[in-house]
Amino acid sequence: MHFAYSLLMVIALVVSGCTSTSDTSSPSTKESANKQDSTAAHTPVNVPVKKHSPSTQIVDKTTQRSALQIKDSKEDKSTDTKKELEKKQKPIVEYANHSWNKDFKDGWVVVKKLNAKEYEITSEGESLLQIFEKEAEDNQLLEKLESLKSVSVGMRKGYEFVVNVPKEYSETSRSYPLIIFLHGGIGGKVSNNLWQLSNFSKSLSEPSILLAPVKVEIDWDPRKIKDVIDETNANLRINHNRIYLTGLSMGGRGTYIVASDLIDTFAAIMPLSSHHIPYSYLDLAPQLENLPIWIFHGDSDLVSSYPMAVEMAEALNAQSTYARFTTIVDGKHNGWNEIYSDPEVLNWLLAQERGTPHNYELNVDGGTGSGYYEPETGITIISNLKSSSGQSITWTIESAGEIHTQQGNQIEIFMPENDVSIFATLNNSDS
């Protein structure tokens, strides 16, 4: 009965719009600097190292300092309506016979080739369809049943997808990072994915290939995502050690589902507001053990379970997974556009590389050095505070729950296997 109720809730998502375009909030984020290379100048700070220590950051309303705290805004500061903004987007170019264009002068490509591929529905999928139809009929959802029947067709079809290629792609021979976005809800649209990928492009620290598939089914299918990656790899130069996966709502749970099945494919994943039905995603934690993860979820989300998101972060950290958790304070089931537009967010993804040690964050307030570094990397941090005669600079270093201080205009640290926060303050010498 509980499972059937969950399926009914999934059906409601088709109408309620658990999709990538329902964002109306404007949470604030802070920008992170790019990785820097430095040389030793002073005695290094012995930052505490707790190998594989839990790095979950559950931000509440009393937290004063955190890697990223997002406040859900009640005010939409945008002066343009959604339709007006959509008109400003570049048109999607759909090439003849859905073939790849090797020049990529227009940037955008829509690929429908895989939509013609037939897939066998799994036994679990058949069970979902049966409950899907029964619940729609028993609960007088006949007016929606016709549109919901498209799900059974969608489960047998591959994904069409939209790709954004860097402008300089045709002028280079390098391989590019690939970021894959999974939309929310049951049924998606290419136009909505274009809208979301446009947010991504605002905050990229380097040229990257952006890709967003479209599904019309309940959960995301790892088999189909693999085919999307293979099709893209056959036509574009992809850095196989830098493939990233992110998604929101049903795409957030899909991020867990796909990454847990396609082991060793992704360098890092970022699930947002992950949906908890038709079944829990908690049992996927063991398959994600060696994958860096940054989780976002609003603590006032009434659509997707916030407690389950917290429990997932705790389960991941308990098994030594690097799972970073950010609560959207007072956040509901939205805020995604602003998250994806924040340079710190996507640049964290791009800082990770498959097959190498995790790059941990160094967050410096009052000096140089902010970025992402492998453990044991030496970083020189130089103050940018303007001190006057009789003043000294104190550095406060926070890592793995421990706090150290050191004096001087500059310091050096060796990056531990933890995130590190450092902030500088001015002190009077006679105080």
How far is Cα 431 from Cα 208, in angstroms, rounded to an integer? 51
User: If we measure between CA atoms, which residue out of 223, 234, 253, 237 comes closest to residue 111?
Assistant: 234
| Count of residues in the chain | 431
**pLDDT value of position 229:** 98
**pLDDT value of position 87:** 44
Query: How far are the Cα atoms of 150, 192, 227, 231, 386 from residue 99, in angstroms, in the given order?
Result: 26, 22, 16, 11, 58
**pLDDT value of position 125:** 81
**pLDDT value of position 318:** 92
How far is Cα 290 from Cα 287, in angstroms, rounded to an integer? 8
Question: Do 194 and 89 contact (CB within 8 A), yes or no?
Answer: yes
Taken in order of first residue, the domains within the chain and their CATH numbers are: 2-30+68-350 (3.40.50.1820), 360-428 (no CATH)
Q: Which residues of the chain have pLDDT under 50?
A: 1-5, 14-17, 20-43, 49-98
Q: What is the pLDDT of residues 347-382, one digit of tens each?
A: 899 999 998 777 888 999 999 998 888 888 999 999
User: In this structure, how many other beta carbons lie within 10 angstroms of the beta carbon of residue 37?
Assistant: 10
In the structure encoding, which two tokens stand for residue 5, read together?
């109720």
**pLDDT value of position 146:** 67
How far is Cα 423 from Cα 365, in angstroms, rounded to an integer? 4
Peptide bond into 416 cis (omega under 30): no
**pLDDT value of position 283:** 96
In the structure encoding, which two tokens stand for residue 70, read together?
């997002």
* Burial (0-12, 13-18, 19+ Cβ within 10 Å), 174: exposed
Query: Please, which residues have CB within 8 angstroms of residue 129's CB and are 6 or more apart in sequence?
Result: 121, 151, 152, 155
| pTM (predicted TM-score) | 0.75
CA dihedral for 83, 87, 90, 96, sign (positive or negative): positive
Q: Which amino acid is at 177?
A: P
**pLDDT value of position 105:** 63
How far is Cα 143 from Cα 124, in angstroms, rounded to an integer? 26
